[in-house]
A and B are shown apart, each in its own frame.
Chain A
Amino acid sequence: MTTHSLSIRDLHASIGDKPILKGLSLEIPKGQVHAIMGKNGAGKSTLAKIMAGHPDYTVTSGDVLLDGQSILGLEPDVRARLGLFLAFQYPMEIPGVTIANFIRAALQARLPEGEELEATDYYAKLYAKMDALSVPRNFTSRSVNEGFSGGEKKRCEILQMAMLEPSYAVLDETDSGLDIDALKIVSAGVNALRGPNIGMLVITHYQRLLDYIVPDKVHVMSEGRIILSGDKDLALKLEAEGYDWVEKEHGAKATERALAV
């Protein structure tokens, strides 16, 4: 098995006493885009937060490996510096901190102690990425996400991803709250970052996003585990026929498999 992957292995996690993930396994090779679909409450966003290291959740068993290295037990910032990126469903507002300073601090954090980020190069790169994502340049002096529309927040997430160049990115409901024009811009931004040096996990409730970000694989999540995997056509089938059939047919099997382990 290749070590160039984001690998989730039989992951069990809970919030307080409540189990949320119940044996979830997934392998995203570098260079591929995988999608996770599922109903609200399936645990999709929880999976994203657990991978990023959110302190509210406890991993009870299983593992998450980044290019073969376990990241469980590492602080969120350490995971990020190892190359994991999470595009938030609800990006936080940080009053008084400009986007330019925020991204700069994130890049600075990746440099060895005592090394300073070169300002001219930084701004040149930032402006180029902003232009590509149709983010107005005056956004650099605006506070992170403060007063942004839904579309602006999501574009800003993708801008951060473009600047930080992660090896694996988890995009949590990046399509939520976007109109079709914003969706096209954001998708084009994501597609521009696709390539052999990044693996992506796109979490979405709707098939619509996958018309624009065409995945290599689609996984269906239900009650804290993956119950079915397939190619991009699976998304179309889910769109046409809903989630009930798949949960009925495959949910029970997944439970059996889980109990048999």
Chain B
Amino acid sequence: MTLSATSEIRVRELPAQGITVLPLDSLDESHSSPWPEWFRHDQQKAWDLYESLPMPKRNDEPWRFANLKALDLSEFQPAKPVEDKAVLIARSSGLADLAAKLVFANDALIHREVAGLPAGVLLLPLEQAATEHEELFRKHFMSTEVRLGSKKFAALHRARLRSGAFVHVPKGVVIERPIEIWHWVEGENATILPHTLIVLGEGASATVIDRFVSSRDERSLALAVNDLTLGQGALLSYIGVQEWSDKATAFHLNTTEVERDAISTALQMNFGGSYIRGESDSHLLGEGSRSVMLSINPASGSREIDQRTFQDHFSPRATSDLLYHNALADSSKTIFAGLIKVEEAAHETDAYQKVRNLMLSDEAEANSMPGLEILADNVRCTHGATSGELNEDELFYMMARGIAPKQAAQLIVRGFFGTVLERLDNDFLKERLGEILDRKLNLTV
């Protein structure tokens, strides 16, 4: 099946709001804001918060081992409108068989395709959602405290937000096919603030894929946020495919709230970037809720991937399952700090947390800090971190089949990441994401 109805929608920009490290003075003030007044007021408060919060310091636990130099954002500029929308739209050829596709370029929605969304589903730019669905928006937009270190940067995101995607699937509605959302950045030192807000009603189901891409091989900053909210019994697959340029700095801040018997499966694949900071905060709110947190991180060159996670169990019999696989080549560096917390009421919690580092170079550095805090009785928590090199016996076995050492190593790395993809229960996604993995790892198979 192919996508049919296509339409381009109007693009408006936010007027300037003061001179900052991220001045917006390049924008034309004569445009009226597409955001409602109350949100612009919120943004001003967020800006004040951003300015009042200190920069992370070396001895701050949430920034342990991090390269704080990467947090100097002073050279980044607001992104200007992209040069050629048509080219970026053409390059946004993602998965086949989509329910809908949105394409953002430098924080402006430049393209929207809907092949088939069930009645009642809202797929809107955030500013439209804030205007037309204020209650829903207010309730779920960045509604939880930023707890994993990036409070200051989340405030900056909020203060400078220009657009983003709002997905609302009402009670009982199931979207079979994926929704794909592209976020392009273009321009040397350009800054973008991608945002995806997903709200699933009771028993609703959806698959959403965020694609993060650099238009050119340029230095840029992305402060990306996604809020995932699952009502009772809802099912969500959320995939982030990050392909920023190798010079990019990016924050990917996630919050997931899971109500009773709902299941969230979230996978972040990090293929690009110079410095990537990921924060993923799962709130297991309802009894029997489940959050699957996955990440695939091929690190090479001097890339630093710094990931902090929180599996916070508030209710009984909820499960969380975290699996992060890092393959480190060259002088790359990864940091993983994860906390499982079982609150007092959360008896019969089953929580799992595993990070595996495949060391492909003596110059690479992997830091793993798994953590547990258990306040309830009768729980099962498993956590661990392992680091290992390529298995020589596996390598020999593959070479004995005629596969050259370099290809054999690539296949082993592919397999190492493949075991993370296996955790997805959607065969279509597994296959498509496997193809992306093959392409990014330069495999011909």
- The answer to whether B394 and A94 have CB atoms under 8 Å apart is yes
Point out the residue from A75, A91, A97 that lies within 8 Å of B412, measured CB to CB: A97
- The answer to whether B400 and A101 have CB atoms under 8 Å apart is no
- A242 at the A/B interface (Cβ < 8 Å)? no
Smallest CB separation, B441 vs chain A (Å): 12
Point out the residue from A86, A88, A95 that lies within 8 Å of B416, measured CB to CB: A95
* 0/1 interface trace, chain B 386-421, chain A, CB 8 Å (1 if under): 000001111011111111110110011011111101
- The answer to whether B411 and A76 have CB atoms under 8 Å apart is no
- The answer to whether B445 and A80 have CB atoms under 8 Å apart is no
- The answer to whether B396 and A102 have CB atoms under 8 Å apart is no
Q: Which residues of B contact A98 (CB under 8 A)?
A: 418
- The answer to whether B445 and A92 have CB atoms under 8 Å apart is no
Closest residue on chain A to residue B430 by CB atoms: A141
Contact A97 B401, CB 8 Å, known A92-B393, A105-B411: no
- The answer to whether A143 and B399 have CB atoms under 8 Å apart is no
Most buried by A among B397, B401, B422: B401
Within 8 A of B (CB), among A63-105: 75-77, 79-81, 85-86, 88, 91-98, 101-105
* 0/1 interface trace, chain A 103-147, chain B, CB 8 Å (1 if under): 111101110000010000000000000000000000000010000
- The answer to whether B411 and A97 have CB atoms under 8 Å apart is yes
- B378 at the A/B interface (Cβ < 8 Å)? no
- The answer to whether A105 and B403 have CB atoms under 8 Å apart is yes
Smallest CB separation, B340 vs chain A (Å): 24
- B59 at the A/B interface (Cβ < 8 Å)? no
Q: Which residues of A contact B393 (CB under 8 A)?
A: 92
Point out the residue from B400, B407, B418 that lies within 8 Å of A76, measured CB to CB: B400
- B32 at the A/B interface (Cβ < 8 Å)? no
Point out the residue from A96, A109, A116 that lies within 8 Å of B407, measured CB to CB: A109
- A160 at the A/B interface (Cβ < 8 Å)? yes
* 0/1 interface trace, chain B 416-445, chain A, CB 8 Å (1 if under): 111101100000000000000000000011
Smallest CB separation, A62 vs chain B (Å): 21
- The answer to whether B397 and A109 have CB atoms under 8 Å apart is no
- The answer to whether B422 and A96 have CB atoms under 8 Å apart is yes
Q: Which residues of A contact B398 (CB under 8 A)?
A: 77, 94, 102, 105-106
Contact A80 B419, CB 8 Å, known A97-B414, A101-B411: no
Closest residue on chain B to residue A117 by CB atoms: B444
Contact A106 B401, CB 8 Å, known A54-B396, A94-B394, A94-B412: yes
Most buried by B among A92, A94, A104: A94
- The answer to whether B418 and A97 have CB atoms under 8 Å apart is yes
**Contact size class for B?**
20 to 34
Q: How far is the CA of A92 from the CA of B412 in the complex (A)?
A: 12
Closest residue on chain A to residue B415 by CB atoms: A96
- A196 at the A/B interface (Cβ < 8 Å)? no
- A52 at the A/B interface (Cβ < 8 Å)? yes
Within 8 A of A (CB), among B371-394: 391-394
Contact A97 B415, CB 8 Å, known A88-B397, A104-B445, A108-B445: yes
- The answer to whether A77 and B397 have CB atoms under 8 Å apart is no
Closest residue on chain B to residue A106 by CB atoms: B401
Contact A96 B402, CB 8 Å, known A55-B392, A102-B411: no
Smallest CB separation, B398 vs chain A (Å): 7
Q: Which residues of B contact A54 (CB under 8 A)?
A: 396
Q: Which residues of B contact A106 (CB under 8 A)?
A: 398, 401-403
Smallest CB separation, B351 vs chain A (Å): 23
Q: How far is the CA of A85 from the CA of B401 in the complex (A)?
A: 7
Smallest CB separation, A93 vs chain B (Å): 8
- The answer to whether B404 and A101 have CB atoms under 8 Å apart is no
Q: Which residues of A contact B415 (CB under 8 A)?
A: 94-97, 143
Contact A77 B404, CB 8 Å, known A54-B396, A97-B411: yes
Point out the residue from B399, B408, B418, B444 that lies within 8 Å of A95, measured CB to CB: B418
- A238 at the A/B interface (Cβ < 8 Å)? no
- The answer to whether A110 and B402 have CB atoms under 8 Å apart is yes
Smallest CB separation, A235 vs chain B (Å): 27
- The answer to whether A109 and B403 have CB atoms under 8 Å apart is yes
Q: Which residues of A contact B391 (CB under 8 A)?
A: 92
Q: Which residues of B contact A88 (CB under 8 A)?
A: 397, 400
- The answer to whether B411 and A52 have CB atoms under 8 Å apart is no
- A164 at the A/B interface (Cβ < 8 Å)? yes
- The answer to whether A80 and B400 have CB atoms under 8 Å apart is yes
Q: How far is the CA of A132 from the CA of B391 in the complex (A)?
A: 32
- The answer to whether B402 and A101 have CB atoms under 8 Å apart is no
Q: Which residues of B contact A103 (CB under 8 A)?
A: 401
Contact A80 B402, CB 8 Å, known A94-B394, A102-B411: yes
Smallest CB separation, A249 vs chain B (Å): 36
Point out the residue from A77, A92, A93, A95 that lies within 8 Å of B402, measured CB to CB: A77
Closest residue on chain A to residue B325 by CB atoms: A96
Smallest CB separation, A240 vs chain B (Å): 35
Q: Which residues of B contact A85 (CB under 8 A)?
A: 400
Q: How far is the CA of A160 from the CA of B407 in the complex (A)?
A: 18
Q: How far is the CA of A53 from the CA of B404 in the complex (A)?
A: 13
- The answer to whether B397 and A91 have CB atoms under 8 Å apart is yes
Q: Which residues of A contact B408 (CB under 8 A)?
A: 77
Smallest CB separation, B277 vs chain A (Å): 27
Taking A92-B397, A95-B415 as given, write out 13 further A-B residue pairs in contact, using a Cβ cutoff of 8 Å, ordered by the A residue number. A55-B392, A77-B405, A79-B400, A85-B400, A91-B397, A93-B394, A94-B398, A95-B416, A96-B417, A105-B403, A105-B445, A143-B415, A164-B402
17 A-B contact pairs sorted by A residue (CB < 8 Å)? A52-B396, A75-B399, A77-B400, A79-B400, A80-B401, A91-B397, A92-B396, A94-B398, A94-B415, A95-B416, A96-B414, A97-B412, A97-B418, A105-B398, A106-B403, A109-B402, A143-B418
Closest 7 CB pairs of A and B: A96-B418, A96-B415, A80-B402, A97-B415, A76-B399, A92-B397, A106-B401
Interface residues of B (CB under 8 A from A): 391-394, 396-405, 407-408, 411-412, 414-419, 421-422, 444-445
